[in-house]
Structure 1
Amino acid sequence: MTDGPDPERLDALEKRLAAAKKGQEPEAREESHISQAQHGWRMVTELVAGLLLGFGIGYGIDHLAGTLPWFMIIFTILGFIAGVRTMMRTAQEVQNKNSMQDAD
């Protein structure tokens, strides 16, 4: 008759339990709703930046050339196009990233 539990067997049991718990824990994933919101704001910022940059360049050229509002209109449209293209590129990156995560 033994006085108490065998410490070696208890240690072995604790190690096996820890290994089993570790195998069952889900992997830490980033919050997708926060990540999607960040990507959304990034795309909005890219569009607004393109518009403002185009407007500023056009207004500056118009001010120097005295042709107000022609270059401002043209460069604002070009800035909008550049912003949309940048947004589409960002959306493609996000889609590729999500498809790679789904494949894992």
Structure 2
Amino acid sequence: MVSDADKERLKQLDARIAAAKSARKPKPHSEEHYSQAHLAWRMVIELVAGLGIGFGIGYGLDYVLETLPIFLVLFTLLGFAAGVKTMMRTAKEAGSLAQAKQAEDEGN
């Protein structure tokens, strides 16, 4: 059985753990434009990465198969489409996070 003294020590330990966890919580951004700029750069990088990968694959296929730059154009367009799709997914994710935060703020 657990004695009363042990129960009291456990309660004190729980309080110390809760205090330590609350001290380690990340502080919210004081400037909203910082997170928006981060999101914008992420979207730009996703688009450029899609274009670069598509260009690389298309150029490689054209070089190996010794064809006209048909694969280069085709895969660059496919890379652009993939980049846009990834950007849209990121925008949707950011929108749903913003809606959840707004609902949480209204609930409090």
Same fold (TM over 0.5): yes
Quick check: 1:51–1:77 contact (8 Å CA) kept in 2?
Answer: yes
Please list, as runs of the form range in 1=range in 2, the aligned pairs for 1:38-77 lying within 5 A after superposition: 38-77=38-77
Q: How many residues align?
A: 77
Distance 1:49 1:78 in 2: 12
**Partner residue, 2:34:** 34
RMSD of Structure 2 on Structure 1 (CA): 0.9
1:29 Cα deviation (Å)? Answer: 2.8
Larger Cα Rg: Structure 1 or Structure 2? 1
Q: Distance in 1 between the 2:57 and 2:71 partners?
A: 8
Identical counterparts, % of pairs: 56
- TM-score, with length taken from structure 2: 0.69
Structure 1 runs of 4+ off > 3 angstroms? none
Kindly indicate whether the alpha-carbon contact (under 8 Å) linking 1:47 and 1:80 is maintained by their aligned counterparts in 2.
Answer: yes
Indicate whether 1:94 and 2:94 are aligned: yes
Q: CA shift at 1:32, angstroms?
A: 1.6
Give the aligned residue type for 2:93: E
TM-score, scaled relative to structure 1: 0.72
What is the distance in 1 between the residues matched to 2:47 and 2:67? Answer: 26
Gapped regions of structure 2 (runs ≥ 5) = 1-26
1:68 Cα deviation from its structure 2 partner: 2.6
Question: What CA distance in whole angstroms lies between the structure 1 residues aligned with 2:98 and 2:46?
Answer: 21
Conservation of the 8 A alpha-carbon contact between 1:62 and 1:68: yes
